[in-house]
Amino acid sequence: MWQAIYEDLKGSGLEIIAVAFDTGGKAAVEASIRAEGCRERPEVLARLMGWSADLWARQAPPTYTCVIDEGHLLAELYGMVNVPQGVWIDEQGRIVRPPESAGTSDMVRHMNRETFEIPDAPVAEGVAVRNTYVEALKDWVKHGAASRYALTPDEVRKRMRGPSQDEVLAANHVRLGRYLFAKGALDAAKLHFKEASRLHPDSWNYRRQSMMLDPESIGQLNAGPDFWAAVDANADRPYYPAPDFSHAG
């Protein structure tokens, strides 16, 4: 689906770099970035992700840059706490919009956890959120700094913040966890990722990683009891906050 958007906008200067945050590396993500895998999944996936029927029908293997961040370094530097999140960066390397949900809405709480089915009303809302994000992106590609969706430097700084001491410590636990994982010390690696999750509870990237290090879990969908228990424990906070376009002119 992002490939369809890229095809539509690359002639106007858009470049997409997709980053997977996964300590499991290539084995964990290579299948999930191929359209063949998407076609094998039920139609409910399109409903869950909020893709309109026309974009879902145009899915294709990505030709834009796709990389794997095994150490979660980019997430640490930009303050990304979940996937998918998007950051808009202009031709001068300036952040135009800091990390935010890339048009994914908080439909996970409406989902049947056995069948992954979602009622029509949340699906319609999710498609609206996704379409709003895509249209905002198109507006920025077309108008650049004059786009109503391009934030001022002051607003970008307001929306971003430096890491807390606990978040810095959490990132160090992730580094240790990744090192131990590479050395085959799986149990010790899990402990460090779990501690990172405790120190930085807003990071669903850390939470998911702490649950998905076992060999049989590598590359699988994170939808086990531990994940849902974490979602339920944060019932008062959205899993995917909708992008904030309140400053659009």
Q: Does a structural domain hold residue 186?
A: yes
Domain end point (choices 159, 178, 196): 159
| Cβ burial, residue 101 (10 Å; 0-12/13-18/19+) | buried
Q: Does a structural domain hold residue 57?
A: yes
In this structure, the strands spanning 85-89 and 65-69 are unpaired
Q: Are residues 138 and 187 in the same domain?
A: no
Q: What is the pTM of this model?
A: 0.86
Q: Are residues 145 and 176 in the same domain?
A: no
Q: Are residues 93 and 13 in the same domain?
A: yes
Q: State the pLDDT confidence band at 38, using cuts at 50, 70 and 90.
A: very low
pLDDT reported for residue 41: 54
Q: Are residues 129 and 229 in the same domain?
A: no
CB 206 within 8 A of CB 196: yes
Q: 3-state SS of the chain: helix, strand, coil percent to 5?
A: 55, 10, 40
Number of domains in the chain: 2
Mean pLDDT of the 123-149 span:
93
Q: Are residues 151 and 173 in the same domain?
A: no
Contacts of 135 (CB under 8 A, 6+ apart): none
Q: Are residues 38 and 115 in the same domain?
A: yes
How many of the other CB atoms lie within 10 Å of CB of 32?
A: 14
Q: Which domain holds residue 219?
A: 165-233
Residue pLDDT, tens place only, 183-212: 999 999 999 999 999 999 999 999 888 888
Distances (CA, A) of 200 to 4, 74, 79, 189, 205: 35, 16, 11, 17, 10
Q: Are residues 135 and 207 in the same domain?
A: no
Q: Does a structural domain hold residue 28?
A: yes
Q: Are residues 101 and 215 in the same domain?
A: no
CB 211 within 8 A of CB 218: no
Mean pLDDT of the 9-21 span:
94
Per-residue pLDDT at 25 exceeds 80: no
